[in-house]
Structure 1
């Protein structure tokens, strides 16, 4: 079809059933007889006016149906949410945010990097819980206390962001009901954290609309807060009244851009488009520009560094510059998507203001489109600007119309501003100068090639030769099929997930190598509390960062009856220091697996089938059980006679580092299995599985579920 038929109001009634975050594109209203016809048959210009008229009527009725109240949107202290165009999820383990060498937060370094690469951010979500939560029974609220400096340390980091004009969100997770219980509901705990840290917003992880209780709890403590759910697709649109922002995911990549429903219902509601695994963000950025919404610049994705390509980073810089300059227009109540255009595949939105209008254009074609792009009613004395290229614009005047000729790159962008007599835009010249300088280099000149971050294995120094001892077992040299896969929850089979072994060209989830393992010694048992006490007494060791160090000890000594249990609440640095004192080192991961598995590829140290007598019974309560004494499960011995390899405490082995992240390889699993969510740190009892544990600082890395054993060169 070339043009949509005229529709009556009844044709739009089916839209009341909309539950997703997107509105149908022109020519695809639910229930229309041509809803699934090919896009090549749709005349968007012919359908757009009908679409806008119908959905404007639907919006009016739908806001009544959901009882929409815009009180919070009118609160001056929350108005910053309407300018929050670039948002980042910040992992606390990011080495640009926290320097483990100095033990200090480095907010300026983090923000300087983002400004250099894509123009900076308006807000960050400081993420300190997942994916490590569940390695022990610390809850989401315990983990903020474990940050370097605790809540006071985080408060200082928040202040550093504020000094740079960046707002801060903190996360909350309704699924965390399997770790240690607390005596107050989540909204009260979060309100107290917002008050204590000075943060500005709450992000609801997995929330389909953050409950109003969080708003009320913060109001009761006289703190202003913006609620930001991960999604809104299932909660119902009524949450729009108190969720002033939201995320949306995986915007459809079709030839006709999609209108985001909540933005259409309330133009002051800034959505941040989130597509964490994408390596080509052009579609997301075009939708952000077309809809007048924001973008979640998420690169550190739970331990995978998914950096924006050069082209996407430069695109985000320019998109955000236009949006920030004309933020007041972007939230215009009279926003009109699908303005009529003159070229196929080019789409425009109009954001009108008081005698000033902004049009944003996107070219959905892969090729450049030059020539006249769109026409608007002309007002005598009106000044026009090409806001994307930073120059004055002289349209062709055709009667009462101004016709604009622009060149749009393939998959590119454009922006036009019209200022009628009396319109106020302030001094546009600095902005235009900046855009003109940027436009001198087309987006196509920037690389769109993505690559994963190279990782390096932390070097382990060889030990001196040592005599045989009863506490260690000699493992002979031999050929070994080292086959292991990461059980990290996120990332699927994407390049960059898990670790990059020295013989691999990039990080990946599954690893397999036939290798020659040199002979080595390995501890028969994990290091115990008693042995660690001897080390402390002899060496006088005290870590510089002693947060949570031997947290379970009492008055500097192991708990009564705990001398023969594996020591826990020690960081990988603590374990390395002990090993050096003992003339040993931590085992390489393949050494650990070889000692546990032998040469027959068995799943567990004792064989291919799980034997409940060979390891402690897992604890599934909200408080983790204490570890079993070493040697309490002799039937769990490996083919070489190594004991307690699986199911008692996780064991430190190797560490990998890239430019932004550190992570340790944990082996063996523990006796703790928190229930109620698949998001908890997954167990890895099988010998062909390992855990990836993100490292930040010893105070946070130490855990009730992680111990270690030592190795030495033979």
Structure 2
């Protein structure tokens, strides 16, 4: 047995060495091939460092080429899909934006229109525009009720006809459109057919071009086949791939890298030069690494500024760098799919790295300076070619080549953490291209600000009611007193970064954790949430009907609530509907701290009834795929707060304050609901403690309404 083990080990070693010495590293979202170690200076304690020689470069490149050839054979690679005209757009889709449907530049709830031109014009102004957009209609709101991934698209304002027109508006501007798929969404309403067929049909209905696989290590071939079957080919873009074989039908991926000094080579781009990678690095404040690694690899970038309603806008410097990188990549896109791509072409200056992209018509070099200082002088030596001319494509000027035996030396500047490009051609290049880049690069990137400030948030004003001297019918008096308002937001992502959650009027910026010692005024609050019967009385008396009536009182039939639902909390009402009811009743919606004070009193208790959870104080959690029928508002008197306020927690969420910044509107929800979709951490989180709240992104009343969301009112008290 020992002998067999030794023989197997001996056989395994050559097999491993036969593959590659430069093993791609990282998880399936970060598969990158390391540069030659000699390109990065080592510290004295790391051993002797010697700069790369030509032999080092040649050996490294030969090893990578051998590995690529062998990998293609091992997986039976077939790249025919990349040659199909219907999907060729991916090979020049360098700049893709992930865009939240709640972005205020994208939809105007007042006119009930998608404002695609406004959205795109802003991106053109700030960083040169995009080639594709990933329209994001799901997370983080998904799971508030049982609408699934497909429902979240179909419930966009105007339904499928309006979404189809929105997609056509992007196409009119030359922008391809993608939507996400969430196969982790197995806790909401079940779909009626297979996921591949359902998704293919939806994308065909709206005319979309592709699908992003959220959290997916590859989109299975069945999805591609389902789209082909109905003659609406789609491009799929997972976050990574489970195997190199999947490269044949996943024509795009995200690149979620670490960024060493010497740029790594993207595994999938190396295996298939026509493959498009969009580097996604949403939380970093600086995008220089993203753009340099993209330019070096001849791939693209994911401009993701609105991160689940948290604004991380690109800086003016990064915006200008994006404009220049994107312009060059679009101009010379034909070079960036060269099958003879040579990463880490030998350069003369330390910390300057280049890729060589040869075609019959000429050669392009994409160059990045990773140093924190400018690089000047001779940058690279290229083979001499009779009749060839050389251009600094980044600065838009012709270079004077210095003959060096069988080669030429090329000198040009590259600023600190900047970019460069050289074009060698026998023919005269486009003068328009040179002029464009000469004008664009006239100012160095250092002239543009490298920092951006978070967007300031504004609380939507709440008009005080006519003061009452005693508690109106159905309301409870909340006495004046001291209150320690301590609360935290439950947004799943973002940590405690500036911009996460909310900025209260007394805070100088949004953050997750909040604390303020307050002196509460006396006020009155509804003992119970507003019921269906109470809301029907309002409808009957006022004739109220919202302008955007999509999903309004969706659970009602023939103008009334279901039998037996009169004393259950009204749901499927938006923030505007709740405000209209409150105004009719001479009331208003509570500020969040009023809601919390009414729920906890002044002793800081964890739940309205005390510090320990009581299952009998709340409705039974609904762990199935569908929203359960709410309990009556007075069904759980054990859950009353110190002031006697009931049904605060675990039945239906309750509207409180609204906030907005330049790009996002959102409301603070309190109390949680009984609905608990299972199977994923990504669903809208519950907030049933007194010191927790939910943040719901707002788009349009018809979309914001939910089966689990109601409200209660307050009235101001006379002094």
Question: Which of the five TM-score ranges fits, normalised by the shorter chain?
Answer: over 0.9
- Report whether the alignment pairs 1:541 with 2:550: no
Q: 1:640 maps to what in 2?
A: 643
2:200 alignment counterpart = 191
Match of 1:61 among 47, 53, 70: 70
Cα drift, residue 103 of structure 1:
1.1
Is residue 551 from structure 1 mapped to residue 560 from structure 2 by the alignment?
no
1:132-171 counterparts in 2 under 5 A? 132-171=141-180
Distance of aligned partners of 1:424 and 1:393 in 2 relative to their CA distance in 1, 3 Å threshold? closer
Tell me by how many angstroms 1:10 deviates: 7.3
Match of 2:613 among 610, 615, 638: 610
Residues paired across the two proteins, number: 696
Correspondent of 1:367 among 370, 373, 393: 373
After TM superposition, list the pairs within 5 Å mapping 1:460-539 onto structure 2.
460-466=462-468, 467-539=470-542
Partner deviation per Cα, 1:251-310 (whole Å, 9 max, x = no partner)? 222221111100000000010000011101101110000000000001111110110011
Q: Secondary structure at the match of 2:514?
A: strand
Matched residue, 1:246: 253
Matched residues in 1 for 2:44 and 2:559: separation? 71
Which structure 1 residue ranges, 5 or more long, are not aligned? 1-7
Checking the alignment, whether the CA contact within 8 Å between 1:26 and 1:44 is kept in structure 2 is: no
| Cα drift, residue 27 of structure 1 | 3.6
Q: Is 1:318 matched up with 2:327?
A: no
Residue number in structure 1 paired with 2:51: 43
Are the equivalent residues in 2 in contact too, given 1:179–1:674 (CA < 8 A)?
Answer: yes
How far residue 468 of structure 1 moved from its aligned partner, in angstroms, is 2.6
Q: 1:285 aligns with which of 282, 291, 299?
A: 291
Q: Which runs of 5+ in 2 are unaligned?
A: 1-13
**Distance apart, 1:48 and its partner CA:** 2.2
Q: Note the C-alpha offset of 1:141.
A: 1.1
Partner residue, 1:229: 238
Match among 419, 425, 436 for residue 434 of structure 1: 436
The 10-residue stretch of structure 1 (182-191 or 534-543) with the greater mean CA deviation from structure 2: 182-191
Residues 553, 627 of structure 1: CA spacing in aligned structure 2 closer, same or farther, 3 A cutoff? same
For residues 72-83 of structure 1, the aligned pairs below 5 Å read 72-83=81-92
C-alpha deviations, 1:598-617, integer Å up to 9, x for none? 01111100000100010101
CA deviations over 1:110-153 (Å, ceiling 9, x no partner): 00000000000000011101110100111111111211111111
SS at match of 2:290: helix
Distance in 2, matches of 1:9 and 1:572, equals: 64
Match of 2:687 among 675, 684, 688: 684
Give, in whole Å, the separation in 2 of the partners of 1:673 and 1:696: 23
Given that 2:95 and 2:303 are in contact with CA atoms closer than 8 Å, whether structure 1 keeps it comes out as yes
Partner of residue 358 from structure 2, selected from 352, 362, 365: 352
Residue 711 in 1 paired to residue 718 in 2? no
Q: Is the 8 A contact 2:21 2:63 kept in 1?
A: no
Q: 1:366 to 1:497 in 2, by over 3 A?
A: same
Task: Classify 1:134/1:23 alpha carbon distance in 2 versus 1 (closer, same or farther; 3 Å).
Answer: closer
Equivalence for 1:574: 577
Partner of 1:451: 453
**Poorly superposed stretches of 4+, deviation over 4 Å:** 8-12, 14-19, 34-40
Change (3 A) 1:37 1:57: farther
| Superposition map of 1:626-637 within 5 A | 626-637=629-640
Q: 1:154 to 1:220 in 2, by over 3 A?
A: same
Provide the residue aligned with 1:3 in structure 2. Answer: none
Is structure 2 residue 282 aligned with structure 1 residue 276?
yes
Partners of 1:36 and 1:575 lie apart in 2 by: 68
Residue matched to 1:131: 140
The CA distance in 1 between the partners of 2:183 and 2:48, in whole Å, is 44
Is 1:414 aligned to residue 432 of structure 2? no
Distance 1:281 1:39 in 2: 32
TM value normalised by structure 2: 0.95
Work out the CA distance in 2 between the residues paired with 1:545 and 1:26: 56
Q: Following the alignment from structure 2 to structure 1, what is the Cα–Cα distance between the partners of residues 673 and 318?
A: 42
Does 2:35 align with 1:26? yes
Aligned to 1:625: 628
Question: Shift of residue 183 of structure 1?
Answer: 1.8
Q: Distance in 2 between matches of 1:199 and 1:370?
A: 46
Correspondence for 1:267: 273
Task: Measure, in 1, the Cα distance between the counterparts of 2:325 and 2:295.
Answer: 7
Calculate the TM-score normalised by the size of structure 1. 0.95
Cα-to-partner distance string for 1:172-201 (whole Å, 9 max, x where unaligned): 110011001122111111110111111100
Q: 1:484 to 1:289 in 2, by over 3 A?
A: same
Checking the alignment, whether the CA contact within 8 Å between 1:45 and 1:341 is kept in structure 2 is: no
| Gap change, CA 1:172 and 1:35, over 3 Å in 2 | farther
Alpha-carbon distance in structure 1 between the residues aligned to 2:657 and 2:208: 36
Q: What is the CA distance between 1:659 and its match in structure 2?
A: 0.2
On the 8 A contact 2:380/2:409 being kept in 1, the answer is yes
